[in-house]
Chain A
Amino acid sequence: MCSTCGCTGHGQGTQIQFFVTGYDEKNSKEVEEKLLGLPGVLYVHIHTHDGETTINYNPAKTRLSELTAVFEQRGLQAAI
């Protein structure tokens, strides 16, 4: 996390990008909030218009399947 001092830690995590079909203004906000509430998810950015969804998360705390479940539960299709 801290590049100036060189220390780093568990929060560093992994960035993953999905392309999601089926977003609208309402469900994209819901997805963003639901993803942010998962353990280890630190950042979510969604482009509603083209479905680009960027997530920074810690795989030790949340599995990939838990991320994709958030899309599936709303009938959204996500591809990496």
Chain B
Amino acid sequence: MEVQVMEDILGSNDKQAAENKKIFDKYGILALNLIGSPGAGKTSLLEKTIGSLKGCMRLAVIEGDLFTSKDADRIADKDIPVIQINTSGGCHLDAMMVQKVLNKLDLANLDLIIIENVGNLVCPAEFNIGEDAKAVVLSITEGDDKPLKYPLIFKEAAVAVLNKIDILPFTNFDMANAKHDMNCLNPGISIIEASCRTGDGLETWCNWLKNTVQIKKERMKKTNG
């Protein structure tokens, strides 16, 4: 009986996620679900990304947090559309939460929406919110054992950003091991070493985003006519 309730919740989420996806597709917007632990550097990566991409594409951010608008305030300083969702203790965003805020964005004038999920490597990986792709941010300080300990997100993500590589020499993080495990779990995953502090790898990340946005636009042009 209890299992049936769970399945129903997930079924509802998947239905709403499919509706969200239709909206993103209609407008040719790439929706990226950005996932990572608290402190991995998701918001820092967003700040740097906005700085690089603002001039060449139209982007917006949806911020998911348990409480406060601290992250949204940081993004708002970059002068792009940003919406904060507070989950009031909920450990992940779901498709309905995202759907409720989409009408606050000028969708006809966007190329990319980055949805920063609640800081958590577990639950956000389980809930589709209608995104085209998931991106996971793993910081060096979290340890190279995380891909095998939290496999679902590494299995689901199209790209993994290994952040804070500037402090790599001061840790025992085994880069080769982390990459090996990620490639085992998800042979197609793109892995980008980066540092939001020094800027290393950010060009590669932004190029991945630009390329993925372009692929989506071309695909939707063909589909939508």
The stretch among B29-37, B118-126, B190-198 that forms the contact with chain A is B118-126
Is A7 within 8 A of B151, CB to CB?
no
Is B127 within 8 A of A9, CB to CB?
yes
Is B151 within 8 A of A8, CB to CB?
no
Among candidates A2, A9, A10, A43, residue contacting B151 with C-beta atoms closer than 8 Å: A43
Q: Which secondary structure characterizes the binding site on chain B?
A: helix
The interface residues of chain A lying within 8 Å CB-to-CB of B90 are 5
B6 CB within 8 Å of chain A: yes
Q: Which secondary structure characterizes the binding site on chain A?
A: loop
B10 CB within 8 Å of chain A: yes
Q: Taking CB as reference atom, which chain B residue is nearest A35?
A: B184
Count B interface residues, CB 8 Å: 18
Is B126 within 8 A of A36, CB to CB?
no
Among candidates B6, B155, B185, B186, residue contacting A8 with C-beta atoms closer than 8 Å: B6
The interface residues of chain A lying within 8 Å CB-to-CB of B127 are 7, 9
Is A42 within 8 A of B184, CB to CB?
no
Among candidates B10, B122, B155, B184, residue contacting A2 with C-beta atoms closer than 8 Å: B122
Complex alpha-carbon distance, A39 and B122, angstroms: 18
Count A interface residues, CB 8 Å: 16
Is A1 within 8 A of B185, CB to CB?
no
B152 CB within 8 Å of chain A: yes
Is A42 within 8 A of B92, CB to CB?
no
Is B123 within 8 A of A10, CB to CB?
no
B187 CB within 8 Å of chain A: yes
Is B152 within 8 A of A8, CB to CB?
no
A33 CB within 8 Å of chain B: yes
The interface residues of chain B lying within 8 Å CB-to-CB of A33 are 184
Q: Taking CB as reference atom, which chain B residue is nearest A40?
A: B155
> How far, in Å, is A10 (CB) from chain B's closest CB?
6
Residues of A with Cβ closer than 8 Å to B? 1-2, 5, 7-11, 32-33, 36-37, 39-40, 42-43
Q: Can you name 18 A-B pairs with beta carbons within 8 Å? A: A1-B122, A1-B125, A1-B126, A2-B126, A5-B91, A7-B123, A7-B126, A8-B6, A8-B126, A9-B126, A10-B10, A10-B126, A11-B125, A11-B126, A36-B185, A37-B187, A42-B151, A42-B155
